[in-house]
Chains A and B, each alone.
Chain A
């Protein structure tokens, strides 16, 4: 089992789109895959048409009252399951804080699923919080979408600093470019600079495309309704991630 967290300090950069579409590609290839929606906005639950509801509430979930397994819902796609979230999860930091070792809790909850899944994708809320620290502990890989702008460059630097400060060395940080407009010279320049400063950055880029935006209307992963260039981009990105994992 490998845990991949879609993480960024910034909002609206393509974390949920990444989690949903990469998970879909993994499942299609036959890997037993799970998405855990950790953002109370419940966007990935929505994309899979799964009701935003944590059976027993966030409190029981974080307290470990029952196994994570009972919260799992099968999606409409083979090998692909999801754990939905609900609005009670907005207080997750308080709930975590009540626990003995707050930052170990996500990892601990995931452990019993090790034999059931090959890949678990965590769709994270945008912030730096106790939850994010718990996610860093649980994740093998941090996939961080970057929109090529001067601001997002700074965000990456911040994230790196945060990780280094907290000695979260075991998680591999793999940034990737999201919502790229290849016509914009500025995008190209910034991408070149990031690649130079941070060579671990994935080479495959996700273009800014209207069919990705349409996921909210279709309510399914991009690959389930489109064979476009952007669908292929996610497939290629997944291949590149697999290679990095090997």
Chain B
């Protein structure tokens, strides 16, 4: 049975009611104005999981409902005064169970809202028993909507009623959430943000023009995450802000000889500064995000003693965040960012001075990716059980460069082949990243531990931290074995053949 309909533009709620009451008796249960607000994370995680999150407020009640994007089926519902920012703040079990794995660390934010007049009706039989519940929502700027809520054991009666009114009033079944209508009316789209790169390059674009396009994309990503970073809405704004910074830095150093030297020097310095001023906050964010996991690594009776460490980290994070926000509000930041934006927007020089500026972007991309790929292989092959950690660290950075280059230029290559290579590179990067994480976390933790000993923290806390440090060490060493395995998987001949075929074009 269809349960959600759209009324034709000219049909009002009153008309619908009149038409229904011709054949069935109905009771008006309520009629009241409702404010509906839609929520999602900045990167649309709920929408991507086909969940619509709607908060309806009226003088009677405020209810948060999760429903399926395509079927409108209700998934969970709870009464709330206010929508919490994070999934962990929900007290209703079911709601939390659904939201936690989807949202993770991301905050819920209001996306858009709409006012409507909601009529609720019961259709009753001769015994005055309700056999079907009806809801009509009247909007000012959208077609009205009719929703039916069948009652168990009365589907047949309900089906008959629905058939008649749908036919009589030419109602259309609807499977499109209202959210989409609202967004459309505001010229917005769902999923309008993703941290994935998608730069529409074409192979014979001039290299300097293409690189400006890449940097403009990265600048956009940086700017949309700026206010969320300053306000510390959730940790992902800073994370994505930093990704944009790092990608820009790799672009400036790796997409060589296309932009004028003075520009490259000036903005390399600016983006390196941005990397610095954001790193401490991010490090602390990572600790706090991982804290529950840390706790689980020590014996149960020591867990509570780690709360002191949590306090210390949280205090440091607040401090670092404050500094970071100050930097992002500074004149230095805004002036240089505006200058960068102005440069990227300026018309390209017809006679570029740089040697590679007039290459096609495809030729340049081939050259750069092939070169960095060979470096990855060379550096990786030099690593064995006895190589110092610095070598792994260096390889991690080279891999990152390769990854960013491949992502910048993704559109220039056969999609299936390049995404498969990226996926395999990612696996290698994950191992290297974990190694690095454990190494720095171990080091930092030792540092914090010294700091806390000076301030006379209890022995138990220091002991728990020592256990954690030891645990990191063990994990770090285990990862070296993983690395050997992952690296040989990455450099297997099949991959090499594809790398060669895609990028070594200038050699053949």
Contact = CB atoms under 8 A, between A and B. Distances in A.
A117 to B, nearest CB: 12
A73 B152 contact: yes
A174 to B, nearest CB: 29
B128 A74 contact: no
Contacts of A72: 152-153
B129 A50 contact: yes
Interface string B246-277: 00000000000000000000000000000000
Given A49-B127, A49-B128, A49-B129, A73 B122 contact: no
B308 interface: no
Between A72, A74, A81, the greatest number of chain B beta carbons within 10 A of the residue's beta carbon is seen for A74
A51 B154 contact: no
Contact of B154 (A48, A74, A219): A74
Given A49-B127, A49-B129, A74 B153 contact: yes
A73 B128 CA distance: 15
Interface string B125-156: 00111100000000000000000000111100
B129 A76 contact: yes
Interface string A74-108: 10100001000000000000000000000000000
Contacts of A51: 127
Contacts of A74: 151-154
B152 A81 contact: yes
B342 to A, nearest CB: 60
B153 A73 contact: yes
B421 to A, nearest CB: 47
A219 B127 CA distance: 9
Contacts of B154: 73-74
A137 B93 CA distance: 33
Nearest to A82: B153
Interface in B146-203: 151-154
Nearest to A73: B153
Nearest to A84: B153
A71 B153 CA distance: 7
Contacts of B122: 76
Interface of B is mostly: loop
B384 to A, nearest CB: 56
A71 to B, nearest CB: 8
B130 A76 contact: yes
Interface string A46-61: 0011110000000000
A35 to B, nearest CB: 13
A132 B128 CA distance: 33
Contacts of B153: 71-74, 81
A24 B130 CA distance: 16
Between B122, B129, B151, the greatest number of chain A beta carbons within 10 A of the residue's beta carbon is seen for B129
Nearest to A49: B129
A76 B132 CA distance: 10
A72 B151 CA distance: 10
Contacts of A219: 127-128
A73 B127 CA distance: 14
B443 to A, nearest CB: 51
Interface string B115-129: 000000010000111
Between B130, B152, B153, the greatest number of chain A beta carbons within 10 A of the residue's beta carbon is seen for B153
Nearest to B131: A74
Contacts of B151: 73-74
Contacts of A73: 151-154
A49 B154 CA distance: 13
Nearest to A46: B127
A51 B128 CA distance: 11
A72 B153 CA distance: 6
Nearest to A55: B153
A219 B154 CA distance: 19
Nearest to B129: A49
A48 B131 CA distance: 12
A76 B127 CA distance: 12
A199 B122 CA distance: 46
Interface in A169-213: none
Contacts of B128: 49, 219
A97 to B, nearest CB: 29
A73 B131 CA distance: 10
A76 B124 CA distance: 10
Nearest to A76: B130
Nearest to A50: B129
A81 B130 CA distance: 13
A72 B130 CA distance: 15
Nearest to B152: A74
A76 B154 CA distance: 12
A44 to B, nearest CB: 14
Contacts of A81: 152-153
B65 to A, nearest CB: 15
A50 B152 CA distance: 12
A71 B130 CA distance: 17
Nearest to B151: A74
A49 B127 CA distance: 6
A51 B153 CA distance: 11
Interface in B446-486: none
A147 to B, nearest CB: 30
Contacts of B152: 72-74, 81
A49 B134 CA distance: 19
A35 B130 CA distance: 17
A51 B19 CA distance: 27
A76 B153 CA distance: 12
A73 B154 CA distance: 7
Contacts of A50: 129
A112 B127 CA distance: 30
Interface string B202-239: 00000000000000000000000000000000000000
Given A81-B152, A219-B127, 8 more contacts: A48-B129, A71-B153, A72-B153, A73-B151, A73-B152, A73-B153, A76-B130, A81-B153
Interface of A: 48-51, 71-74, 76, 81, 219
13 contacts: A49-B128, A51-B127, A72-B153, A73-B151, A73-B152, A73-B153, A74-B151, A74-B152, A74-B154, A76-B122, A76-B130, A219-B127, A219-B128
Return the 8 tightest CB-CB contacts between A and B, nearest first: A73-B153, A49-B129, A74-B151, A74-B152, A49-B127, A76-B130, A72-B152, A72-B153
